[in-house]
Amino acid sequence: MIKQIKVLDKKINLYTSDKVFEPNLTTWSLIEACNKLKFKKKKKVLDLGSGSGVIGIYLKKKYGNKIDLYLSDYSKHAINIIKSNLKINKVIGTTKKSNILEEWKKEKFDLIINDVSAISSEIAKKYWYNKFIPHDCGKSGTKLTKKFLDSFEKNLNKNGVILMPIISISDHKSMIKKINRDFKSTLLLKKDWPAPKNLIKRNVANFLEKKYIFKKFNFYLCFTKIYKIQIKK
């Protein structure tokens, strides 16, 4: 199925599939964060964990020849969708099936947008993801993020930037501690969003204790934080 969506100032046509993760608030937040960066010079950009490819496609539509676009995902279904979406949007990009950065060993980028799964795999499997969408991020939700953080430096050009979400439905405290300790990190934006009813129906106390959700004005909420990360000089 093809649908047309408006992403900020750009219209994008998207093939969608129940075998590929659909864009959500984290997706839109990453795009908003991208627009806080400067694209004065040409940049080599990797959209990692790309899903439908919408982030990379938006950036290419907005910044055109200022971007050399690369996209990857661990799912073969996602790669097929990405290729189709590049074609129908008349956007040029290089695609590759890759487990995190394993297939990009010889490449360096100016910007890596890391949107791999980053929530507790127990919650992901039970409420949001299906067997076709990769979500092996561990009970804490940090397995893939840690793997990325431990390996990205060799793929980043001098003065390169990482954009990465940290979501409350994970061990977010340890992740924030790690990026603040090991890298130069800046919080670009934070979005609160309603905790899904099916998520809290039977697990409110447990999720509150784990800080996966929080209560504000009698509402149960989650958050998504987008960080800009650079290597310490």
Beta-carbon contacts of 117 under 8 Å, excluding residues fewer than 6 positions away, are: 49, 124, 129, 134, 135, 136, 137, 141, 144
Q: Integer distance in angstroms from the first to the last C-alpha of the chain?
A: 47
For 64, residues 6+ apart whose C-beta sits below 8 A from its C-beta are none
**Segment 182-216, tens digit of pLDDT:** 999 999 999 999 988 877 776 788 888 888 899 99
Cα 12 from Cα 74, distance rounded (Å): 23
Q: What is the pTM of this model?
A: 0.93
pLDDT value at 126 more than 70:
no
Task: Specify the pLDDT at position 47.
Answer: 98
Per-residue pLDDT tens over the stretch 29-84 = 999 999 999 888 899 999 999 999 999 999 999 999 999 999 999 999 999 999 99
In CATH terms, 2-230 corresponds, of 1.10.10.10, 3.30.1540.20, 3.40.50.150, 3.50.50.60, to: 3.40.50.150
Check residue 53 and give its pLDDT: 96
Q: Is residue 17 pLDDT above 70, yes or no? A: yes
CA–CA separation, 56 and 50 (whole Å): 8
Q: How confident is the model at residue 127 (pLDDT cuts 50, 70, 90)?
A: low
